[in-house]
Structure 1
Amino acid sequence: MSVALLNIHARRRQRVAAVPFGDFVVARIRAGQKRLADGTRREAVDTGHYLIVTPGVLLNVENLPASDGPYLSTCVAVSRDLLLEKHWTSDATPTAWAVLPPSPALDQAFAHAESGLQQPLPQAVLVHRVRELLEALDLGGFRPVAMQQPALAERVRMLLAAAPDKAWRAEDIAAAMAMSAATLRRKLAAENTSFRAVLEEVRLARALTLIQTTTQPLKRIADDCGYRSPSRFATRFRIRFGTLPSALRE
């Protein structure tokens, strides 16, 4: 199981298309507003409210600064392991993503998980705090769509995400999965994707996170995500997310 804490800060309005959520994410909006759309519905997440997104979801995201300051949000990202073991009791309609209002139980559980990640605490304690957060979501009326074991593309994603800057070849991942490169390509094609497509998705998703949560120079981010040419990185990023990396940094 992996857990991460991410803080997003934006002084100007941000629009990012088709943002991939590889982990289970619980985000609290600290200031400003987040707007989301998935092709069938639109939602706005106001200050103090929570956004919950299950793994595998793509959302068009817009971050709007507050009238008196920047947009701020804190995200707890959890690998799907704990989500798979949780027995949900809420009778709410299962959903891939949801917006929940603040409540004493949810506020305290989120703050508990956040403080544990800031320290950070030992893994066993963090697991306990994440379970507490999941229970608070359950009590708050959230019920995720049925989680399944990850498909091959998702398993490839997990391996690539460990080192997105590496000069990966299909043969490397195939060997790690005890299959031939040809078999890997055939199985990915059956899931309507390819090794190159998954690799680029992993690299660009990582770049998006670094741009929004760190002050690293864009050239370094490009390099850390496997792009030796900053101009090619900017082009691929714009095609994927509908905006330039420099526009998000502004």
Structure 2
Amino acid sequence: MSSGWGKTPSLPVSQGTFRSELLLLSPELLAAFKTHYIQDYPPARHVSLCAPMSQGLKFMWGNLLHAVRDDLPVKLQEHQAMGLLLTLHQDGLAGPLLIERRYNLTEQVRQIIMMSPAKLWTAQEIAQHLSLGASTLRRRLQQESRSYRQIVEEVRMSFALAQLQTTTLPIGEIASRCGYLSSSRFTARFRQHYGCLPKNVR
């Protein structure tokens, strides 16, 4: 696991001081975290890397920095990093860290939508998360024979199937979690997508 830490020169007292701390988490560590803790990408409450420093997050951040600075065994550093990621996840802040840029654009868009399947995503919002213009997003997805609307529906249907197979939630509740205000609309889309009714999956 790579890490780095720095502190800016002190500024005049009237301007206050500023300290910047940086930790780099390896793709392997993030992949292991997703394998152990992320089953269905529950909705994220925030999709920005500028996260408020809650008490739990401050505690886990300090633990990880301590482990890195004191050069503790790598396994212990990884354990603390998992704790930090889990805190971010529980606070609804881990979403952007789970987007893997090495994937094609379709998969990157899919991972963004997975953060919140119920959200009424627009092309502009998705493009902003990827630092693209909306027209560029549409053009590049078209090159992959996809559209953002297709991907939204695919993610919602996949999420719905997982919920039906692993929970006892009412179908109306699952429909709501997938962004459908009408259970009948959800049922129709599910049947069109999978060729069966939601109730037949259970």
TM-score, structure 1 as length reference: 0.43
Counterpart code for 1:189: Q
Pick one of 108, 122, 129 that aligns with 1:155.
108
- Distance (whole Å) between structure 1 residues aligned to residue 130 and residue 119 of structure 2: 17
Take 2:198 and 2:80, find their aligned partners in 1: how far apart are those partners? 35
What's the CA shift for 1:4? Answer: 5.0
1:3 paired to 2:6:
no
Deviation at 1:3, TM superposition (A): 2.1
| Cα deviation 1:30-81 (Å, max 9, x = unaligned) | xxxxxxxxxxxxxxxxxxxxxxxxxxxxxxxxxxxxxxxxxxxxxxxxxxxx
The 1:164–1:183 alpha-carbon spacing in structure 2 relative to 1, beyond 3 Å, is same
Secondary structure of the equivalent of 2:119? coil
State the alpha-carbon separation in 1 of the partners of residues 126 and 110 from structure 2. Answer: 10
Alignment of 1:193-204 (within 5 A): 193-204=146-157
The CA distance in 1 between the partners of 2:153 and 2:80, in whole Å, is 33
Please give the secondary structure, in 2, of the residue aligned with 1:3: helix
| Residue number among 107, 125, 128 corresponding to 1:175 in the alignment | 128
The structure with the largest alpha-carbon Rg is 2
Describe the shift of the 1:123–1:217 C-alpha distance in structure 2 as closer, same or farther (beyond 3 A): farther
Which residue is 2:158 aligned to? Answer: 205
Structure 2 residue runs without a partner (length 5+): 1-29, 42-78, 84-100
Partner Cα separation in structure 1 for residue 36 and residue 162 of structure 2: 12
Of all paired residues, the percent bearing the same amino acid is: 40
Q: Give 5+ residue unaligned stretches, structure 1.
A: 8-21, 23-120, 126-147
SS at match of 2:155: helix
1:244 aligns with 2:194: no
Note closer, same or farther for the CA distance 1:188–1:234 as it changes in structure 2 (3 Å cut). Answer: same
Structure 1 residue 231 and structure 2 residue 184: aligned? yes
Q: Secondary structure at the match of 2:173?
A: helix
Question: How many aligned positions are there?
Answer: 115
Corresponding residue for 1:47?
Answer: none
Change beyond 3 A, Cα 1:159–1:214: same
d(CA) in 1 for partners of 2:82, 2:127: 32
Q: Aligned-pair distance for 1:175? A: 0.9
Query: How far does residue 241 in structure 1 lie from its aligned partner after superposition?
Result: 1.0
Q: Which has the higher helix share?
A: 2
Q: Distance in 1 between matches of 2:106 and 2:117?
A: 15
Letter in 2 for 1:186: R
Specify the alignment match of 2:19 in structure 1: none
Q: Runs of 4+ in structure 1 displaced over 3 angstroms?
A: 4-7, 121-125
1:244, distance to aligned residue in structure 2 (A): 0.8
Quote the Cα distance in structure 2 between the aligned partners of 1:123 and 1:245. Answer: 39
1:149 positional shift: 2.9
Local SS of the residue matching 1:155:
helix
Helix, strand or coil at the partner of 1:243:
coil
Work out whether 1:166 is the aligned partner of 2:105. Answer: no
Give the structure 1 partner of residue 49 of structure 2. Answer: none
Q: TM-score, normalised by structure 2?
A: 0.52
